Amino acid sequence: MGVKVIIPTPLRVYAGKRDSTVVKATTVGEALVGLTTEFSDLRKHLFTDEGKLRSFVNVYVNDEDIRYLAKENTPTKDGDTISIVPSIAGGSDLFCCRR
Amino acid sequence: MATTPTLRMSAEIAQKIREHGAQGYPNECCGALLGRDADGTSAATTGGGVIQPPREILALFPLVNRRDDSPRNRFSVTAEDVRDSEKVAREKGLDVVGWYHSHPDHPARPSQYDREHAWPWYSYIIVSVANGKPQEMTSWRLSDDRSDYACEEIAIRDSAAK
């Protein structure tokens, strides 16, 4: 028994097409390290080059957003479920390209 | 040599994306692309080497652009919106396979900001809207190493041939 990590659809191709995995972890940070150790190709999509969680990567522990808990130091216990949920952003270079 | 992946949709769905772009003008519109990847043998390969089967868009889930501070050149879909989109897709027996948004008075080309915020695997449709009228529509997928976008061929089939 460990912590279940739900892998979002766009990243499953980097995790052997699996939708979840189970890791041993006492914090969210440890769980994400466990996940990216098992599936190293996930790392660049979840973390910046500086090792910070990308701004459009949202992490929930049992449906609670970790931004409102202790972020990556949020404690986890066996049986918890961590969900990684994308947010989507973009837009044009309108104002930098207009003369 | 890398082959361009293909995104298929009906003329009706293509028209709905264009109309949403026009309705939202001068702001950016956005929404989810619901569909599935085909299991056919005509797989394509992106620069990253991942096999990309043709993808079919079968429904749309229009969303509200959450970027109130800069809606003319930015769009945002919250994690809650993503979860709602996935729920709607599941109810239809489909997946969220990508996202669409408009570029008001700007070409249908991904910006640096688009690339920095993109996820792999998803298709990103961009429709250009000039003076309120929809123009070119393109689709893109982020490369595995996040360095570039691969253009995805959009194949629009006749509504009568559904």
Go through the domains of chain B in sequence order and give each one's CATH number. Answer: 6-161 (3.40.140.10)
Task: Catalogue all structural domains in chain A, each as residue range(s) with its CATH number.
Answer: 3-97 (3.10.20.30)
Res B159: pLDDT: 64
User: Distance (Å) from the C-alpha of residue B45 to the closest C-alpha of chain A?
Assistant: 14
CA distance A20 to B159: 38
pLDDT, averaged per 10 consecutive residues of chain B (162 residues), comes to 78 98 96 86 43 88 92 93 96 96 95 90 96 97 90 86 48
Tell me what pLDDT residue B3 has: 56
Backbone φ and ψ of B130, nearest 5°: -110, 120
Question: Whole-angstrom Cα distance, residue B76 to residue B24?
Answer: 14
- In this structure, are residues B132 and A23 in contact, taking their beta carbons and an 8 Å threshold? no
Residue A93 confidence class, pLDDT cut points 50, 70, 90: confident
Tokens of B145: 């190493």
**Which of chain B's residues have a Cβ under 8 Å away from the Cβ of A95?**
73
Q: Which of A20-34, A59-73, B43-57, B86-100 comes out lowest in average pLDDT?
A: B43-57
The token pair at B81 is: 């919106």
Does residue B84 belong to the interface with chain A, where contact is any CB pair within 8 Å? no
pLDDT-based confidence at A1, cuts 50/70/90?
Answer: confident
Residues 23-52 of A with CB under 8 A from B: 41, 44-45
Whether residue A31 is predicted with pLDDT greater than 80 in this model: the reply is yes
For the whole model, what pTM was predicted?
0.89
* Contacts with A, B 37-66, CB within 8 Å: 50
- What rounded mean pLDDT belongs to chain A? 92
Average pLDDT score over residue span A58-81: 97
Confidence of residue A91 (pLDDT cuts 50, 70, 90): confident
Task: Provide the pLDDT for residue B48.
Answer: 47
B3: CB partners within 8 A, 6+ apart? B44, B45
Count of CB pairs separated by less than 8 Å, A with B? 96
- B-chain residues within 8 Å CB-CB of A87? 76-79, 81-82
Which of B73, B77, B81 has the CB atom closest to A94's CB atom? Answer: B73
